[in-house]
Structure 1
Amino acid sequence: MYRAIWLNSVKRAAMAFCISRKTLDETAGFAPDAVLVLAENGHDHALRWQRCNMAASNSPLRKLAEDGDVVLTFGHRNNKRPELVIAALGTLPVKPNLIVLGADGNYRDSLEESAQAYGVADKVHFPGYVSDEEYQCLMMDADCVVLASSDEGFGLPVAEALSLGRPVVVTSDSGLETTFADSVRVAAPEHEAIGKAIADALAGRDVPSEYNAPSWTDTVVTVREAISAAIPECSIKV
């Protein structure tokens, strides 16, 4: 139903904005006659995050950095595949602490079982969903951020991590390489490859090239200019 509503909306719209080259190409495949404009999400909002407030600063999760490196990954949707990252942890000779954000309920239980099976239960932490302030603190503290998704339209955590200078590992079937180019380490969607990429990131090996990231100002300008050119009567004055 969602796909049908989305496709009908794209076909009927005078113009549809796409948040990444990947989403534009995929949308064009479904609706070749649609008028599509690339207006990539900005990457710079993380630079405006305020200093961590006291509650977030005192979080037990932040104290994990005292015990070595910290890797941050995500489990709020099944496509995020944190189980691959947990398995990857088991391949590392020196194991960092891994924080899996968002996983709860039965899914969390299954991930805890995986951590036990790979012998890393003491290194994997499941805080569930955290506040915006704590999320920002954890992102700023992370030594490596991993997004092992099977598919992503954009990947805001990647943009945030790169803006903060954090190394990022993504999987080759996620589409994230299309958006972030050589600024991310790309691994095959298997735990051995992800483990090697994490180890390289933590050791500072094979540092990716700098990515010329668009800002949210660029996004707004693109949208405004496209609308003004297509529909002059809707021209936006600044």
Structure 2
Amino acid sequence: MILADTRWSGVHGIGRYASEVLPRLSVEWTALDVGGRPSQPQDFLRVRRVPAGASIYSPGYNAFVARVPQVVTIHDLIHLHATTPRRAVYAAHYAAVLRPTVRRNGLVLTVSETSKRVIEEWVDDDRVRVVNAGNGLSAAFRVDGPSDATEHTRPYFLYVGNLRAHKNIDVVLTALAQTEGCRLVIVMNDREGALQRAAEFGVADRVEVRSGLTDEALAELYRGAVATVLPSLVEGFGLPAAESIACGTPVIFWEGCESIAEISRGQGVPVADPHDDLEWARALSTALSVRPRAGAFAAEYSWDRTAKLVSTTLRER
């Protein structure tokens, strides 16, 4: 009996992964009967025992003290990055709960080759198998389809993300202030926070914030953009990069962010310094004049494929 933690399901990030993968699993499972949020530090105490013969699967990084087979999905190790608030709390949890669980079970799922390598170094145990099940894309993200460009009087760049420190959006806002003839469209739930940040950098009149978009509406934005900007310092995968390129729009990214480089594979515009606003401004200006396009590879990112790999891994386990 597989008990799947369904509490992660949602719209973005791990939530999107859980929402897409769980319904597609080909192994029989039932929902784990547990309350609370899986991201809470004390969540590992909520499950102490399960029925005999049961195992636990989580599409997220949460593990429990229950001495039963558990397969967790570590999308990345961003919680251990220097920019993460309360990093010490996460570091203690990962060291005392998550890593021992992974080592005890000898298996962990992840979403990219970059994350696989990082996790292998972190877990530091040759007996642990790290399986890259990948990520998927909605069918909406494709080259052919309507474009949002006609609604904008000036060309625009697109940012899809949040305001967390590792996303490094400030360098793009600073660069935007130095780049004439363009706008920035931000897709983010925190509308007020994004507008306030734009005002702090003096570009509020050139920034538009959208939220609650369907995949179809987001795909239109990708297709209409000059490029998608992804200045992240670290990512486990970088779904906006895959979505953007699948729509034929390249990404401008820091070349040291390995997962974005892994996805773009020569179809993006790398920037050498993540904090050099002049270099980012030059990248924006160059993109405006050259208008590069990317070749689509949407078929390589399939939720069906990811669910199949997860199912196979759970079945073998």
Q: TM-score range by the shorter chain?
A: 0.7 to 0.9
Distance 1:9 1:194, change over 3 A: farther
Whether 1:191 and 2:285 are equivalent positions in the alignment is: no
SS of residue paired to 1:12: helix
Once residues 120 and 233 of structure 2 are traced to their aligned partners in structure 1, the CA distance between those partners, rounded to angstroms, is: 21
Q: Take 1:11 and 1:45, find their aligned partners in 2: how far apart are those partners?
A: 37
Q: Against the structure 1 CA distance between its residues 131 and 148, is the aligned structure 2 distance closer, same or farther, given a 3 Å change threshold?
A: same
Answer yes or no: is 1:31 the counterpart of 2:119: no
Query: Match of 2:18?
Result: none
- Are the equivalent residues in 1 in contact too, given 2:198–2:204 (CA < 8 A)? no
Contact 1:149 1:174 in 2 (8 A): yes
Is the CA contact (8 Å cut-off) linking 2:116 and 2:132 kept in structure 1?
yes
Say whether the 8 Å CA contact 1:64–1:70 is kept in structure 2. Answer: no
RMSD: 3.3
Q: In the alignment, is the contact (CA less than 8 A) between 2:143 and 2:296 conserved in 1?
A: no
Residue 169 of structure 2 corresponds to residue 82 of structure 1: yes
What is residue 220 of structure 2 aligned with on the other side?
137
TM-score normalised per structure 1: 0.74
1:87-106 alpha-carbon deviations (Å, 9 max, x no partner): 111232x3211112224445
Residue 28 to residue 74, structure 1, CA distance change in 2 (3 Å):
same
Q: CA deviation at 1:39?
A: 1.9
Residues 142 and 154 (structure 1 numbering): CA distance in 2 closer, same or farther, change over 3 Å?
same
CA distance in 1, matches of 2:183, 2:283: 16
- The answer as to 2:103 corresponding to 1:16 is no
Shift in Å, 1:44: 5.7
Residues 1:100 and 2:176 are matched in the alignment:
no
What does residue 235 of structure 2 align with? 152
Between structures 1 and 2, the one with greater helix share: 1
Query: How many angstroms apart in 1 are the aligned matches of 2:185 and 2:213?
Result: 14
Kept after mapping to 1: 8 A contact 2:108/2:131:
yes
SS of corresponding position for 1:138: helix
Alpha-carbon distance in structure 1 between the residues aligned to 2:298 and 2:139: 15
Report the residue type matching 2:262 in the other structure: T
Structure 1 residue 155: Cα displacement: 0.6
**Consecutive unaligned residues in structure 1, runs of 5 or more:** 232-238
Q: Which range moves more in the overlay, 141-150 or 95-104?
A: 95-104
Question: How far is 1:76 from its partner?
Answer: 1.7
Distance in 2, matches of 1:48 and 1:65, equals 20
- Which amino acid is 2:118 matched to? E
- Contact 1:73–1:101 under 8 Å retained in 2: yes
Alpha-carbon contact 2:198-2:207 (below 8 Å) kept = no
1-side partners of 2:291 and 2:239: how far apart?
Answer: 24
CA distance in 1, matches of 2:295, 2:142: 23
Cα distance per residue 1:154-183 (max 9 Å; x no partner): 011111001010121111332221343212
Match of 2:261 in 1: 177
Counterpart residue identity of residue 24, structure 1: K
Change (3 A) 1:167 1:142: same
Residue 72 of structure 1 corresponds to 158
| Kept in 1: contact 2:112–2:236 (CA 8 A) | yes
Query: Cα gap change, 1:45/1:130 in structure 2, threshold over 3 Å: closer, same or farther?
Result: same
- Provide the secondary structure at the position in 2 that maps to 1:68: coil
Q: Read off the aligned partner of 1:21 and give its amino acid letter.
A: E
Secondary structure at the residue paired with 2:152?
helix
Residues 44-90 of structure 1: CA deviation (Å, up to 9, x unaligned): 644379978xxxx9xxxx57743121111145232222221111112
8 Å CA contact retained: 1:146, 1:168: yes
1:235 corresponding residue in structure 2: none
Alpha-carbon contact 1:40-1:219 (below 8 Å) kept: yes
Q: Which has the higher contact order (CA 8 A, sep 6+)?
A: 1
2:10 is aligned to none
Alpha carbons of 1:96 and 1:6: their partners in 2 closer, same or farther (altered >3 Å)? Answer: farther
- 1:168 pairs with 2:168: no
Count, aligned residues: 216
Alpha-carbon displacement from aligned partner over 1:176-224 (angstroms, at most 9, x marks no partner): 2134321221112122222222233333367678769623143344334
